[in-house]
């Protein structure tokens, strides 16, 4: 692992609630394959919470703003052989050059680093690999929670069909309600689907969701569940957005109708569909319902194909691949 090459390892990660939990989730997965203690640099007012997630041997430092790296640079100035890993869309890759240290930078929209000491990690399908980029879903760091992959048997799916609905820790646009409305708009789905809503800690539309769920004969709300892989219920299908939760769904073999939450998500959703690892739906009720019907048609033919491809593409070894590549490169990145 990287500890044999670097005197210190620094993680700069987005931890502000508005950024969701995906960034922290990826870094926690990476932390599992790093043997030495890590110094974490996090967003304002989140140090205490982060301290509960990371190993006790690690140190946590709070930056003054979500785009700040002042504390990180202060620590880096004392090192010549440290490694920086940054997973925050608020932090500028250009700003990290001041440290003049090997740097790994997570980015969903680019593969070409600005500086020679920077290696980009772009986990999205369609990302083009080269010597300064770890590209594609095989590099997605996810915490498998100790769970092994098992092939999903769609021949034994019970009715009503269990459909996971989850749009991250925030879901400010209440896409959860849109997904429920989609199921209710289709008489067949209204009677044959059992929605299981995974609500993040910062979800603010519980009353609306609970009202919609009253129209289903069977439904559940799941709160305080940090990972799809720790759900208390088995799910057959899902409606959600791209991100770490989608990677977890792929690992679990849950075929998903991906709905973009913003304009940036559109390309990501289409990329996953082109990869054979999801089916895209526009953020509109009738289209979401139509795509769910596509998944279950012909005895779950499309769902079965997505499930099998997804478990191949996301095998839970992304974090190990990243750190192994860094170890082979040593200080040369």
Q: Which are the contacts of 178, defined by CB distance < 8 A and separation ≥ 6? A: 259, 283, 285, 288
Contacts of residue 323, defined as CB under 8 A and 6 or more positions apart, other chains included, come to 1, 2, 30, 33, 34
User: What is the per-residue pLDDT for 97?
Assistant: 83
Give the 3-state secondary structure of residue 299: helix
Which tokens go with 224?
């305080």
User: Taking each helix axis from N to C terminus, what angle separates 206-213 and 175-185, rounded to the nearest 10 degrees?
Assistant: 10
> What confidence score (pLDDT) does residue 331 get?
44
Q: Reply yes or no on whether the pLDDT at 278 is more than 60.
A: yes
Task: Quote the CA–CA distance of 332 and 188 in Å, as a whole number.
Answer: 58
Shared domain check, 327 and 289: no
Instruction: State which residues form the domain around 103.
Output: 2-141+317-332
Q: Is residue 116 pLDDT above 90, yes or no?
A: no
Answer yes or no: do 161 and 309 share one domain: yes
Q: Comparing 117 with 141, which gets the higher pLDDT?
A: 141
Query: Is 293 part of a structural domain of the chain?
Result: yes
Residue 127's contacts (CB-CB under 8 Å, 6 or more residues apart) are: 111, 133, 135, 136
- The tens digit of pLDDT for each residue in 222-241 reads 998 989 999 999 999 999 99
Q: Are residues 135 and 160 in the same domain?
A: no
For residues 127 and 257, membership in a common domain is answered with no
Q: Beta partners for 196? A: 164, 220
Do 321 and 309 share a structural domain?
no
What pLDDT band is residue 284 in, cutting at 50, 70 and 90? very high
The answer to whether residues 110 and 225 belong to one domain is: no
Q: Mean pLDDT throughout 100-120?
A: 82
Q: In this structure, are 16 and 133 located in the same domain? A: yes
Would residue 88 count as lying in a domain?
Answer: yes
* Strand pairing class (103-106; 82-87): parallel
Whether residue 119 sits in one domain with residue 89: yes
| Position 321 pLDDT exceeds 80 | yes
Specify whether the CB–CB gap between 36 and 3 falls below 8 A.
Answer: yes
When pLDDT is cut at 50, 70 and 90, the band that residue 330 belongs to is: low
Count how many domains the chain has: 2
Quickly state the pLDDT bin for 112 (edges 50, 70, 90): low
**pLDDT confidence of residue 111:** 62
Q: Is the pLDDT of residue 309 over 90?
A: yes
The answer to whether residue 148 sits within a structural domain is no
Examine the pLDDT at 1 and tell me if it is beyond 60.
Answer: no
pTM of the model: 0.92
Are 79 and 222 contained in the same domain?
no
Instruction: Please state, in angstroms and rounded to a whole number, the distance separating the CA atoms of residues 163 and 219.
Output: 9
113 and 17 assigned to the same domain: yes
Q: Which residues of 32-62 are buried (b: 16+ CB within 10 A; e: fewer)?
A: ebbeebbbbbbbeebbeebeebbeeebebbb
Residue 217 structure tokens: 């004969």
The answer to whether residue 277 is domain-embedded is yes
Residue 149 lies in a domain: no
Predicted local distance difference test score (pLDDT) of residue 78: 84
> Three-class SS of residue 18?
helix
Q: What is the CATH number of the domain that holds 10?
A: 3.40.50.2000
Residues 55 and 169 in one domain: no
Tens-digit pLDDT profile for residues 246-274: 999 999 999 999 999 999 899 999 999 99
Position 19 pLDDT exceeds 60: yes
* Within-domain flag for 168: yes
Sign of CA dihedral 309, 242, 316, 144: negative
Q: So what's the pLDDT on residue 329?
A: 67
At 113, is the pLDDT very low, low, confident or very high (cuts 50, 70, 90)?
A: low
146 belongs to a structural domain? no
Classify residue 184: in a domain, yes or no.
yes
Task: Give the model confidence (pLDDT) of 35-91 as tens digits.
Answer: 889 999 999 999 999 999 999 999 999 999 999 999 999 999 888 789 999 999 999
Residue 309 sits in the same domain as residue 163: yes
Per residue in 143-165, pLDDT tens?
999 999 999 999 999 999 999 99
Strands 256-258 and 118-122: unpaired
Mean pLDDT of the chain: 92
């Amino acid at each position: 692992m990287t500890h044999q090459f670097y005197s210190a390892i620094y993680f700069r990660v987005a931890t502000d609630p508005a950024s969701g939990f995906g960034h922290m989730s990826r870094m926690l997965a990476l932390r599992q394959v790093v043997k030495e203690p890590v110094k974490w640099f996090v967003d304002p007012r989140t140090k205490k919470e982060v301290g509960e997630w990371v190993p006790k041997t690690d140190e946590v430092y709070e930056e003054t703003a979500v785009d700040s790296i002042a504390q990180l640079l202060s620590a880096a100035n004392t090192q010549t052989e440290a490694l920086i890993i940054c997973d925050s869309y608020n932090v500028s890759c250009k700003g990290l050059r001041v440290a003049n240290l090997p740097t790994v930078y997570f980015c969903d929209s680019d593969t070409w680093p600005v500086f020679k000491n920077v290696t980009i990690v772009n986990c999205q399908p369609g990302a083009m690999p080269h010597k300064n980029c770890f590209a594609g879903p095989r590099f997605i760091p996810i915490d498998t929670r100790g769970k092994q992959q098992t092939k999903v048997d769609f021949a034994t799916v019970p009715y009503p069909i269990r459909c996971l609905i989850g749009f991250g820790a925030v879901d400010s646009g209440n896409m959860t309600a849109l997904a429920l409305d989609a199921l209710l708009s289709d008489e067949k789905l209204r009677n044959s689907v059992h929605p299981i809503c995974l609500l993040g800690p910062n979800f603010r539309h519980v009353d609306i969701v609970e009202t919609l769920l009253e129209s289903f004969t069977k439904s559940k709300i799941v709160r305080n569940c940090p990972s799809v892989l720790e759900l208390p219920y088995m799910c057959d299908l899902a409606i959600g957005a791209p991100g770490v939760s989608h990677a977890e769904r792929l690992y679990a073999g849950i075929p998903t109708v991906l709905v973009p939450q913003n304009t940036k998500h559109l390309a990501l959703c289409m990329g996953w569909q082109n990869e054979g690892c999801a089916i895209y739906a526009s953020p509109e009720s009738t289209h979401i319902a139509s795509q769910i019907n596509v998944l279950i048609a012909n005895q779950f033919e499309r769902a079965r194909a997505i499930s099998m491809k997804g478990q191949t593409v996301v095998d839970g070894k992304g974090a190990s691949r990243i750190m192994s590549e860094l170890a082979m490169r040593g200080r040369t990145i």
